[in-house]
């Protein structure tokens, strides 16, 4: 009987049974025939070459030899016994040796019958031996689906312990193909297969498990990688299209007095071309009648805040309130200060709401929010509280959006009662999420593929490139000398220590030791030093930050609290201690705290001499480039998508065969193809897309993993 339904449990497959099925489910997540079919080898052994006994080399490589067993003996040892068989061909003899399962192996061996023996060879006392060989009768070898390239499947300790070896998995896979007859439903259309010169689904599956040669294996891998990435892109692009057609948004069609007054009279500098382009993209999004759902990427210092403010002014011109949410109080305070200064002299009410806001001020904020007289509310997680209700929230901007959970971001949708009627949900505000951590293109296409993306890829004119240097701990005195020279010019300096979440005591000790050595080198009253760390009260932190901001202290000793959102244009030196303990994106973020004024700025990476090759690559990359996107690409290669996205989203790219870093060209092609098809046939109703539609429904059934990514 052929299994027409690949959703059948694997326990019904020959060679599996309930006990093995249970282990395969727990260890590898293989439940059904389909799961087994898509359990791909992670490497291959070349089985094209057969050796003669007299041609074996003393290099412990895996080899295969055809011969006959001419003699079997059991040799007693201190513990138990070993089985030794003499294995001969027409050129000489070698030994096959077993240390385990001696009794049943001895019973199963056939004398003077041709076998294929495969395994690693050892050279000892003038004789070659092969411990625990894979043995197969030549007549079975010729009959089996054995390919030239033998697959090696991922395994675990428990699988090996329970006797589910690579050979057993390969045999089970063979049974599946013999059972199904290698006739698998096609998932792509004829047009796609033709245009990209892909193997059919059946050919690809056969050649991934039983490749006939290297060329067919490569083509099988390309076909299956493309398919995996194609269906992810199909989901993301469809989600974006549905969003635009189904989710209504407020129509901001007026560019009025508020925007124009600010643009003509209060904008402190000329916008860069990139900023102008992004403002146009946002204006266009907010005028369509669909909810805007856009990601704004821009490197540290590229001017995202001014773009965000201009977008808020468009909302105000159209009679709506706006909110700007930041992940920390420091960043929220900074946004509040910057926005208030830019809007000074204009009749626009701006308020700040954080965990530190006093009860009396909170009451006032709640009142002016609900009566509609508050135009802009800036704050932290405090904005997500149920008590915070707007009269007509039209735009929510979320800064450093990866710091917020999906559920928190979704709360902003329910903050405005506008448009809600009995049983009808309110019209959601337009959403703009911002990040200063550049996202590599491959990751943006995969994880944020359902969002429209705007990029500010140009720095404001007059900004000097930050000079970055890598110094070892032994160079500390020359670094101190350099700090003194910069302070003498009237500049300020950051000295940052790493934060290991699990070990606050150790962090604190590192920081305090560093603070003491800097205090000795930069004594009072000639030098003033601020210190900021996570164990301080918010008010004390703000006080120290404020002193540094006003120039009352020349040196700020801190943990990574200052990574995001401290803007002191007069600070020109960033010293990062134990820089090898930071990730690339964090180093880049910290470096972005300097270089905000007109003067030349510097970033000094201090490390010990003992560096891993990965740490060396990070230091070299930082010294070589200031381009956040280039840094993000290197970071992705070093850490992989899971680490880069954090635990919240790492499960999203649980790919079976594709790799978004190595297969970026295939990913790009998959996205282009998905876009081309959905543009002409958004609901996949055309007869020629029948295969794609069926596979798409299969892939998305019961899987809401993409529903909440962005």
pLDDT band at 247 (very low <50, low <70, confident <90, very high): confident
Least confident range from 260-264, 636-640, 696-700: namely: 636-640
Q: What angle do CA 649, 653, 655 make, to 5 degrees?
A: 155
DSSP string, 132-183: S-EEEEHHHHHHS---SEEEE----HHHHHTT--HHHHHHHHHHHHHHHTT-
Contact predicate 615/622, CB 8 Å = no
The predicted structure's pLDDT at residue 646: 41
To the nearest whole number, what is the mean pLDDT of the chain? 84
Contact predicate 628/299, CB 8 Å = yes
For 66, 73, 354, 363, the CA distances from 360, given in Å and listed in that order, are 89, 92, 13, 5
For 123, 153, 219, 670, the CA distances from 222, given in Å and listed in that order, are 40, 18, 5, 11
Q: How far apart are CA 574 and CA 596, in angstroms?
A: 12
685 vs 419, higher pLDDT: 685
For 130, 243, 253, 315, 481, the CA distances from 285, given in Å and listed in that order, are 69, 12, 10, 12, 52
Contact predicate 184/220, CB 8 Å = no
Contact predicate 708/450, CB 8 Å = no
Give the predicted TM-score (pTM) of the model.
0.66
Which two tokens mark 667? 């990913």
Domain 467-625, what fold? Rossmann fold (3.40.50)
pLDDT band at 120 (very low <50, low <70, confident <90, very high): confident
Q: How far apart are CA 256 and CA 317, in angstroms?
A: 5
Range 669-674 average pLDDT: 92
Q: How far apart are CA 566 and CA 545, in angstroms?
A: 8
The position carrying tokens 């023996």 is 117
- Reading phi first (left if > 0) and then psi (alpha if -120 to 50, else beta), residue 372 is in left
Non-local (6+) Cβ contacts of 682 within 8 A are 238, 241
For 56, 133, 134, 231, 497, the CA distances from 97, given in Å and listed in that order, are 17, 8, 11, 49, 57
Nearest to 63 by CA among 143, 146, 130, 136: 130
SS3 82: strand
Nearest to 547 by CA among 530, 572, 571: 530
Task: Kindly tell me the burial class for residue 368, based on how many C-beta atoms sit within 10 Å of its own C-beta (0-12, 13-18, 19 or more).
Answer: middle
The position carrying tokens 């904008």 is 267
The predicted structure's pLDDT at residue 567: 74
Domain with CATH 2.40.50.140 in the chain: 51-144
Q: How far apart are CA 557 and CA 514, in angstroms?
A: 8
pLDDT band at 706 (very low <50, low <70, confident <90, very high): very low
Nearest to 402 by CA among 696, 662, 608, 709: 709
Domain 51-144: CATH superfamily, name plus number: Nucleic acid-binding proteins (2.40.50.140)
pLDDT tens readout for residues 418-450: 655 555 667 889 989 888 777 776 666 666 666
pLDDT tens readout for residues 482-535: 999 999 999 999 999 886 544 555 555 677 888 888 999 999 889 999 988 877
The predicted structure's pLDDT at residue 708: 37
Q: How far apart are CA 626 and CA 459, in angstroms?
A: 11
pLDDT band at 657 (very low <50, low <70, confident <90, very high): confident
Contact predicate 174/140, CB 8 Å = no
pLDDT tens readout for residues 140-171: 887 766 656 788 898 888 888 888 888 889 99
Contact predicate 593/440, CB 8 Å = no
Q: How far apart are CA 154 and CA 161, in angstroms?
A: 14
Domain 257-456, what fold? Rossmann fold (3.40.50)
SS3 446: helix
φ, ψ dihedrals at 589, nearest 5° = -60, -45
pLDDT band at 329 (very low <50, low <70, confident <90, very high): confident
Domain with CATH 3.40.50.300 in the chain: 257-456, 467-625
């Amino acid at each position: 009987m052929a299994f027409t339904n690949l959703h059948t449990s694997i326990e019904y497959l020959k060679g599996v049974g309930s006990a093995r099925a249970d282990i395969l489910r727990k260890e590898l997540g293989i439940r059904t025939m389909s799961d087994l079919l898509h359990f791909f080898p992670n490497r291959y052994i070349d089985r094209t070459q057969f050796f003669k006994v007299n041609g074996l080399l003393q290099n412990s490589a895996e080899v295969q030899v055809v011969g006959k067993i001419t003699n079997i003996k059991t040799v007693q040892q201190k513990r138990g016994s070993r089985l030794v068989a003499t294995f001969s061909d027409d050129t000489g003899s070698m030994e096959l040796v077993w240390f385990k399962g001696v009794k049943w192996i001895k019973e199963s061996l056939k004398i003077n019958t041709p076998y294929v023996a495969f395994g690693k060879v050892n050279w000892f006392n003038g004789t070659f031996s092969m411990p625990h060989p894979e043995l197969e009768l030549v007549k079975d070898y010729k009959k089996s689906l054995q390919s030239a390239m033998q697959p090696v499947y991922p395994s675990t300790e428990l699988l090996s312990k329970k006797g589910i070896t690579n050979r057993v998995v390969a045999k089970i896979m063979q049974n599946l193909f013999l059972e199904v007859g290698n006739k698998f439903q096609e998932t792509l259309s004829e047009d796609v297969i033709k245009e990209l010169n892909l193997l059919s689904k059946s050919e690809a599956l056969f050649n991934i498990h039983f490749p006939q040669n290297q060329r067919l294996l490569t083509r099988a891998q390309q076909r299956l990688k493309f398919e995996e990435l194609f269906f992810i892109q199909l989901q993301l692009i469809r989600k974006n299209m549905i969003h635009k057609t189904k989710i209504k948004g407020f129509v901001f069609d007026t560019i009025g007095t508020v925007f124009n007054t600010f643009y003509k009279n209060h904008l402190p500098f000329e916008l860069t071309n990139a900023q102008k382009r992004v403002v146009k993209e946002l204006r266009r999004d907010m005028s369509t009648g669909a909810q805007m759902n856009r990601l704004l990427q821009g490197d540290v210092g590229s001017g995202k805040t001014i773009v965000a403010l201009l977008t808020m002014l468009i909302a105000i011109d159209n009679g709506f309130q706006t909110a700007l949410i930041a992940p920390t109080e420091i960043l929220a305070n900074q946004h509040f200060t910057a926005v208030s200064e830019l809007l000074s002299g204009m009749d626009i009410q701006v308020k700040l709401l954080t965990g530190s806001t006093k009860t009396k001020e909170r009451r006032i904020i709640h009142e002016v929010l609900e009566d509609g007289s508050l135009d802009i509310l800036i704050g932290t997680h405090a904005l997500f509280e149920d008590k915070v209700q707007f009269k007509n929230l039209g735009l929510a901007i979320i800064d450093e959006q990866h710091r917020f959970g999906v559920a928190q971001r979704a709360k902003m949708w329910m903050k405005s009662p506008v448009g809600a009627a009995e049983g009808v949900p309110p019209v959601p505000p337009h959403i703009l999420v911002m990040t200063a951590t550049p996202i590599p293109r491959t990751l943006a296409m995969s994880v944020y593929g359902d969002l429209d993306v705007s990029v500010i890829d140009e720095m404001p004119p007059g900004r000097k490139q930050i000079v970055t240097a890598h110094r070892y701990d032994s160079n500390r005195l020359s670094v101190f000398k350099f700090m003194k020279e910069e302070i003498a010019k009237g500049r300020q300096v950051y000295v940052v220590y790493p934060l290991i979440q699990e070990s606050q005591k150790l962090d604190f000790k590192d920081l305090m030791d560093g603070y003491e050595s800097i205090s000795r080198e930069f004594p009072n009253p000639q030098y003033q030093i601020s210190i900021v760390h996570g164990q301080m009260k918010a008010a004390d932190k703000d006080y120290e930050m404020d002193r540094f901001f006003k120039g009352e202290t020349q040196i700020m000793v801190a943990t990574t609290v200052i990574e995001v959102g401290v803007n002191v244009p007069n600070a020109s030196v960033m010293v990062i201690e134990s820089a090898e303990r930071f990730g690339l994106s964090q180093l880049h973020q910290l470096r972005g705290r300097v270089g905000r004024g007109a003067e030349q700025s510097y970033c000094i990476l201090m490390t010990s001499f003992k560096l891993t090759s990965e740490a060396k690559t990070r230091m070299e990359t930082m010294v070589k480039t200031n381009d956040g996107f280039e840094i993000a690409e290197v970071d992705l290669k070093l850490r992989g998508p899971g680490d880069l996205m954090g635990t919240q989203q790492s499960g999203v790219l649980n790919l079976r065969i594709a790799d978004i870093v190595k297969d970026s060209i295939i990913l790009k092609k998959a996205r282009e193809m998905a876009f081309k098809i959905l543009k002409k046939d958004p609901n996949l109703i055309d007869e020629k897309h029948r295969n794609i539609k069926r596979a798409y429904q299969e892939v998305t059934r019961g899987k809401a993993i993409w529903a909440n990514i962005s």
